[in-house]
Chain A
Amino acid sequence: MNLLEVKNLNTSFHIGVGTVHAVRGISFHVAQGESVGIVGESGSGKSVTMLSVTGLLPDYAEVSADTIRFDGRELTKLSRKEVRALHGSEIGMIFQDPMTSLNPLFTVENQLTEPLKLHRRMDKRAARARALELLRQVDIPNPEARLKQYPHELSGGLRQRVMIAMAIACEPKMIIADEPTTALDVTIQAQILELLQTLKRESNASIIMITHDMGVIASMCSRILVMYGGAVCEQGDVREIFYGAKHPYTWGLLNSIPKVHQKRGEKLVPIVGTPPDMLQPPAGCPFSPRCRYCMPVCRAYMPPVTALSDTHSVACHLMHPKAPKIGRED
């Protein structure tokens, strides 16, 4: 069953100089217990997509969708306040910078027990016991002492763990992790990824992992959404994307990272140019100004979504039966 189903999500920001069209007609779903990765260029709308779903955007953001169905409930029918109330209880959020979730003025104990008292109606003792259990669950050594500390007294890796403990405190059905390990060292990143995998196995929660690191996606996720210019340009299961990608941007993304056994001197293949300005996105395919296969039709019309399998779909005019047949080159 699908835990989350989103159809035709559009999000824009009205700012002084005009309107930023951050998300343009995105549809996707997340099954119960599944881990989905979202990759894409900086500014492509990854964070805004998930913040729109969870009602966490500022008021000047305009969000519309045909459907945002979470665990059987239609979120588009709820007020923003009611959607936000899902946080900390049914949806857990993990961000790149733990200080966006942690309040510097409160101890770890305070921050962990507050949502438990609120959402789970626990008394002080029960909440404290659960907080200790959570710190052990995220492998924090010496949890009694940590409870009394403030966020700034912890290392980056420990803060990330406390934030994860907060996110899972009320046993959420869905965990959204937005670049959870980007700011961490690789050995600490490995610890956190291992922890997330264990938590997922034990709780059967769904995980949505936003990252720009194809390595993190390859080892953590079963399905991938690739975003460009506010739209999903390709989605598929992990092998369909890594070994059978069909969209020129996905090819570009895979070709611009060094291959695992790449020798010195082999050239990387960068994508020329820069991402689109979402104040004035291109009329047709958002990737058209940088795409080496761009055809006249690409500049005029947004490409339709073509399904290649139950899981794999691509938004590119090259999928048209009359378009030239082009394969990925290395």
Chain B
Amino acid sequence: MAQPLIEVKSLKMYFPVGNNLFGRRRQLKAVDDMTFELYPGETFGLVGESGCGKTTVGRALVRLYRPTGGQIFYRGTDIAPLDEKAVQPWRRKMQMIFQDPYASLNPRMTVSSIIAEPMRLQQVPEAEIEARVAELIGQVGLKKDHLNRYPHEFSGGQRQRIGIARALAMRPEFVVCDEPISALDVSIQAQVINMLEELQQRMGMTYLFVSHDLSMVRHISHRVGVMYLGHMVELADVEELYSHMQHPYTRALMSAVPIADPDLAAQTKRIVLQGDVPQPIDPPPGCPFASRCRDCRPVCREARPELRQVAPGHYVACHLYD
């Protein structure tokens, strides 16, 4: 296999959340001990329920956060411990596209200055910027006469394209797409997804694609990781995962997705999980899914299951597969 672009080892991102009754600081373990790799040119889908830590992983990888622990090797260099200044050259190669196309664009800037901003910050010569902006606006399927307008004059899908043009300005190698289509109409989602795929084919970028839309993740990803409470519980090639899922949480998650085909939906049995997703504050030892798992055994409450290979490239963290 090719060399990974990014190797994540035991990544931890903890947030302090006040004190407990004895004055000890409590910790919210948003991401705990995650290990995985991203290969050049691939799309890695990251799924899981609200609050499981998907966005936090994305922000830590592009170093918007400084991880609490673990390593992030970017082409062999550990960028996790670098300070603000030292991380700058790497940041240029990494970009993030956000969920909300309304909030992420400055309403007082024209489209052309929004797209140009990252290049101005990196002091790219003005003449070069102008040419690049013209090229980018075409790549995301907008027109040159859109350049002097303001974000509020555009629809949600068009704004998301502006955000994407801006993210591509510095020719990133790696892009975190954090729920890039959740705020868009179904018919517009397909436009944005097709465009992300075309851009990847043309420029060979690597994507971390975060989404709760499991059918879209299946459509766009080469490999998929399933997170629960800050942990990676299963990871495999997309077809392997969707057809041979092993982890009890993955199975419940997948079976909960309503199927857009009435005959198939009638034949499919849903596994309905009981209870809410707990918060990862001072979590108990053992398997993070133990409180909702139907297969939970005594060992599950004592020892955390390790991510193990159960088939080539297919990893599962569950004591059922020890």
Question: Which residues on A are within 8 Å of B, measured CB to CB?
Answer: 41-42, 141, 155-158, 185-191, 193-194, 212-220, 238-239, 242, 252-260, 262-264, 266-272, 274-275
Closest A-chain residue to B292, C-beta based? A187
If A187-B253, A190-B256, A264-B238 touch, whether A271 touches B49 (CB-CB below 8 Å) is no
Instruction: Indicate if the CB atoms of B219 and A270 lie closer than 8 Å.
Output: no
Known: A215-B258, A268-B194. A194 touches B187 (CB 8 A): no
With A42-B185, A268-B193 as known contacts, state yes or no: A242 contacts B261, CB within 8 Å. yes
Indicate if the CB atoms of B258 and A219 lie closer than 8 Å.
yes
CB within 8 Å of A: which residues of B? Answer: 49-50, 155, 157-158, 185-191, 193-194, 197, 212, 214-216, 218-222, 238-239, 252-253, 255-266, 270, 272-277
Q: Is the CB of A186 within 8 A of B218?
A: no
Q: Which of A194, A239, A270 contacts B272 (CB 8 A)?
A: A194
Residue of B nearest to A274 (CB): B155
Q: What residues of chain A lie closer than 8 Å to B256, measured between beta carbons?
A: 186-187, 189-190
* Beta-carbon contact of B185 and A186 below 8 Å: no
Task: In the A-B complex, list the 10 residue pairs whose CB atoms are closest, starting with the nearest.
Answer: A215-B258, A270-B190, A256-B190, A190-B256, A271-B187, A268-B190, A214-B260, A258-B219, A270-B191, A185-B49
User: Could you tell me if A267 and B194 are in contact, using CB atoms closer than 8 angstroms?
Assistant: yes
Residue among B189, B221, B256, B273 with the highest chain A CB neighbour number at 10 A: B256
* A185, A187, A238, A253: most-surrounded residue (chain B CB, <10 A): A187
- CB neighbours (8 Å) of B193 from chain A are 268
- State in angstroms the CA–CA spacing of A266 and B191 once bound together: 14
17 extra A-B contacts, CB within 8 A, seeds A186-B256, A272-B191, A274-B158: A186-B253, A186-B257, A188-B49, A212-B185, A213-B258, A215-B260, A218-B258, A218-B259, A238-B262, A242-B260, A257-B186, A258-B218, A260-B264, A267-B197, A268-B190, A268-B219, A270-B194
Known: A268-B193, A270-B188. A215 touches B265 (CB 8 A): yes
**Which residue among B189, B194, B253, B260 has the maximum number of chain A CB atoms within 10 Å of its CB?**
B260
Name the residue of chain A whose CB is nearest to the CB of B182: A182
C-alpha spacing A252/B273, complex, angstroms: 33
The answer for the CA separation of A175 and B186 in the assembled complex, in Å, is 25
Cβ-defined contact, B185 with A155, below 8 A: no
Point out the residues of chain A lying under 8 angstroms from B214, CB to CB. Answer: 186
Indicate if the CB atoms of A258 and B188 lie closer than 8 Å. Answer: no
Tell me whether A256 and B262 are in contact (CB under 8 A): no
Q: List residues of chain B with CB within 8 A of the CB of A264.
A: 218-222, 238-239
List of A residues within 8 angstroms of B263 by Cβ: 239
Q: Which residues of A contact B194 (CB under 8 A)?
A: 267-268, 270
Nearest-CB residue, chain B, relative to A262: B219
Indicate which residue in A185, A191, A256, A262 contacts B186 across the interface (CB closer than 8 Å).
Answer: A256
Complex CA gap A212/B256 in Å reads 17
B274 CB contacts on chain A under 8 angstroms: 191
B224 to chain A, nearest CB (A): 11
Residues of B near A155 (CB, < 8 A) are 276
* In the complex with contacts A186-B49, A257-B215, A219-B265 CB distance below 8 A: yes
Bound-state Cα–Cα, A262 to B189, Å: 16
Give 19 A-B contacts (CB < 8 Å), ordered by A residue: A41-B186, A41-B187, A186-B212, A187-B49, A189-B256, A190-B256, A213-B258, A215-B259, A239-B262, A242-B261, A242-B262, A257-B190, A260-B261, A264-B219, A264-B220, A267-B194, A270-B188, A271-B190, A274-B157
What is the CA–CA distance of A242 and B186 in the complex, to the nearest angstrom? Answer: 16
Residues of B close to A258: CB separation below 8 A: 215-216, 218-219
Q: Complex: how many Å from CA A295 to CA B190?
A: 25
Report the bound CA distance from A194 to B257 in whole Å.
Answer: 12
Q: Please tell me if the beta carbons of A185 and B277 are within 8 angstroms of each other in the complex.
A: yes
CB distance from B256 to the nearest CB of A (A): 4
Query: Which residues of the partner chain B approach A186 to less than 8 Å between Cβ atoms?
Result: 49, 212, 214, 253, 256-257
A253 touching B187, Cβ below 8 Å: yes
Pick the contact of A190 from B197, B265, B272 — CB < 8 Å?
B272
- Closest Cβ of chain A to B273, distance in Å, is 5
The CA of A124 and the CA of B280, in the complex, are separated in Å by: 40
Q: In chain B, what residue has the closest Cβ to A215?
A: B258
Docked pose: A202 CA to B177 CA in angstroms: 44
Measured between alpha carbons, how far is A222 from B219 in the docked complex, in Å?
28
By the criterion CB–CB under 8 Å, are A187 and B190 in contact?
no
A188 close to B261 (CB less than 8 A): no
* Most chain A beta-carbon contacts within 10 A, residue among B50, B256, B262, B265: B262
Q: How far is the CA of A242 from the CA of B258 in the complex (A)?
A: 14
Known: A187-B252, A258-B215. A219 touches B259 (CB 8 A): yes
Question: B190–A269 contact, CB under 8 A?
Answer: yes
Q: In the complex, are the beta carbons of B187 and A256 less than 8 A apart?
A: yes
Contact of B187 (CB < 8 Å), options: A252, A259, A260: A252
Report B-chain residues with C-beta under 8 Å of the C-beta of A255: 190
The answer to whether residues A185 and B212 also contact, given A190-B270, A215-B257, A216-B258 and a CB cut-off of 8 A, is yes
Q: Assess whether A275 is in contact with B260, with CB atoms less than 8 Å apart.
A: no
Beta-carbon nearest neighbor of A184 in chain B? B50
* Cα of A256 to Cα of B49 in the assembled complex, Å: 24
- Tell me the nearest residue of chain B to A42, going by C-beta: B185
Least CB distance, B146 to chain A, in whole angstroms: 13
CA distance A275 to B194 in the complex (A): 19
Shortest Cβ gap from A279 to chain B (Å): 14
Contacts of B212 in A (CB 8 A): 185-186
Bound-state CA distance A212–B264 (Å) is 19
- Whole-angstrom distance between the Cβ of A270 and the nearest chain B Cβ: 3
What is the CA–CA distance of A242 and B266 in the complex, to the nearest angstrom? Answer: 14
Do B259 and A274 have beta carbons less than 8 Å apart? no
Nearest-CB distance from A240 to chain B (Å)? Answer: 10
